[in-house]
Structure 1
């Protein structure tokens, strides 16, 4: 999830566990604790881009990290600003809740989370929420702002509870919407005689109503879009060839080996000028519902590594204008 969501939800968790005894400091401590797994961003300062991609959401997002760090943080907090009347067990539960919530939320979007690192490099992803969803974040954000100015009394926990209820309800809607899309995709693929090896569905930017659909075949991918409100018994798919043969000149690149693993095998290769481009399909297209042949958000220049900064979300909102927003709203309403 985005940093703002982790910060405000962490603040609300802090209020529930230690707000009565720590006051407004609980909000700050909760925001910091919830954000701690993302400390792996510092790896980007010295690691090559592809190694950084592999490191992010790796060991600091693992259950082992939670198991080792939780008692350490509790021990440090227990000795912070003594004397205090917060039990050591409360600190343990507080930090465990913060870290586990971070890991769980990150599993909902497309990047993938290394829950079992370092014992397994498998990345877990539910593909049920876009990395930043304003409707999910708006309630815990409003509650956190309210808690900053509210007096310390019993009402504060009630406000924090509103944030948790909303987030839980929204995640349930995400799962329900995904099940609707999954059922439709499997039915439609069969009716349209599309044979595929595997597939995934994931929300388009900033919502959970319009979904991006990828069906993998031996030679490439059928890509389309489906709204939960669609009534048409079909999906307009566009086929993108994988183009593996283009990789022969660069097949020994270390970066390429990392990208194969990182993309979980969902990739295409294309030529752009004099460079080959590796597209990771999991992160979607730029306004693909508006322009079916649109380029992909994640595109890595295999022969121009100096141009690969911010590769995960590079150009995510490039080309967005009034017409694009109107097309998204029209597409969400269904066909």
Structure 2
């Protein structure tokens, strides 16, 4: 999830755990506690970009990190608030829950989360909810603001705590059901059209959970498309993108290329933009692909011009967006403009 959502949800959980014992500081402690795993951003200050991509949501999002950091943060919390009736065990439980919620939620996005680092480099990604979904984030943000403004002794506070925690859980369950339906429908379509594939995933399109981005293929290439929960049965337009793996033959052993292949979990294509060789990670979708099915992929990494790769994960998410593109996304999300 995005950092603001983690902070807001963490604030609500902090209020639930520490409430009147620590006053409104519970909101701050909760937000900071759930933000701890994202301390891995400091890796970017000295790591090459390709290594930084793997470091993010790596060790600091692992079960081992959770086990190691929880008692240290609990000791810090008790030391700073020694005068309050909060036991070390409660501090331990508080930090453990906050950090566990963070790394658990990140597993529902498409980036990949290294729960088993450093023992296994396997990345977990359930591809169930977009990294910044306003329908998930609105409730904890609203609740955190309300808890900040409402007096500490107000009887309304428990309502806002429940709203900020329970509604995101309900929405995550709803998103999971949507995922199951999209997967069932998509696999049926692939089977009927006799499209061969050894790798497959679906993940939500930006800012919603009704329009889903679909990728299915193998070492030769990938079929890419978008399907809405409201599309007619059997409707799914695919565009085919050849993998063109042979373009990497002369540089395949380069550490940068190895990192990118590992990061992409094999969902990649290679192509040329003019004189530059470009590595596409398909997991992050296409720039306005619901409107232009031949558009570039969000994650496109210039192998010969590394200086052009700043914010490589973010730069294409909302490129070329305007009112027309936003309306096109809305129309596709509600099942309009679908085609085979």
Question: What is residue 197 of structure 2 aligned with on the other side?
Answer: 196
Question: What is residue 23 of structure 2 aligned with on the other side?
Answer: 23
Question: What is residue 36 of structure 1 aligned with on the other side?
Answer: 36
Task: Give TM-score scaled by structure 2 length.
Answer: 0.97
SS of the residue 2:77 aligns to:
helix
Which sits farther off after the overlay, 264-273 or 225-234? Answer: 225-234
1:270 maps onto 2:271 in alignment: yes
> In the aligned structure 2, how far is the partner of 1:72 from the partner of 1:157?
29
SS of the residue 1:77 aligns to:
helix
Which sits farther off after the overlay, 75-84 or 43-52? Answer: 75-84
> In the aligned structure 1, how far is the partner of 2:308 from the partner of 2:73?
39
Question: What is residue 118 of structure 1 aligned with on the other side?
Answer: 118
> In the aligned structure 2, how far is the partner of 1:83 from the partner of 1:324?
55
Question: What is residue 151 of structure 1 aligned with on the other side?
Answer: 151
Contact 1:281/1:298 (<8 A) preserved: yes
**Unaligned 5+ residue runs, structure 2?**
none
SS of the residue 1:249 aligns to:
coil
> In the aligned structure 2, how far is the partner of 1:246 from the partner of 1:228?
37
Question: What is residue 185 of structure 1 aligned with on the other side?
Answer: 186
| 1:55 to partner: Cα distance | 0.6
| 1:158 to partner: Cα distance | 2.6
> In the aligned structure 2, how far is the partner of 1:329 from the partner of 1:158?
32
Question: What is residue 227 of structure 1 aligned with on the other side?
Answer: 228
Which sits farther off after the overlay, 2-11 or 146-155? Answer: 146-155
| 1:252 to partner: Cα distance | 2.9
SS of the residue 2:230 aligns to:
coil
Matches within 5 A, 1:155-304: 155-304=156-305
SS of the residue 1:250 aligns to:
coil
> In the aligned structure 1, how far is the partner of 2:130 from the partner of 2:63?
23
| 1:155 to partner: Cα distance | 3.1
| 1:157 to partner: Cα distance | 2.6
| 1:247 to partner: Cα distance | 1.4
Contact 2:211/2:332 (<8 A) preserved: yes
Give a deviation string over 1:220-254, Cα, whole Å, max 9, x none.
00001110111141311000000011112322321
SS of the residue 2:249 aligns to:
helix
Aligned length: 335
| 1:82 to partner: Cα distance | 2.5
Question: What is residue 334 of structure 2 aligned with on the other side?
Answer: 333
SS of the residue 1:105 aligns to:
helix
Question: What is residue 141 of structure 1 aligned with on the other side?
Answer: 141
1:64 maps onto 2:64 in alignment: yes
Off by >3 Å, runs of 4+ in structure 1: none
Give a deviation string over 1:104-139, Cα, whole Å, max 9, x none.
110000001000111111001100011100111111
> In the aligned structure 1, how far is the partner of 2:229 from the partner of 2:314?
25
Contact 2:227/2:235 (<8 A) preserved: no
Which sits farther off after the overlay, 165-174 or 312-321? Answer: 312-321
> In the aligned structure 2, how far is the partner of 1:81 from the partner of 1:184?
54
Aligned-pair Cα RMSD in Å:
1.0
Give a deviation string over 1:52-100, Cα, whole Å, max 9, x none.
0111111100011111111111111111132111121111111011000
Task: Give TM-score scaled by structure 1 length.
Answer: 0.98
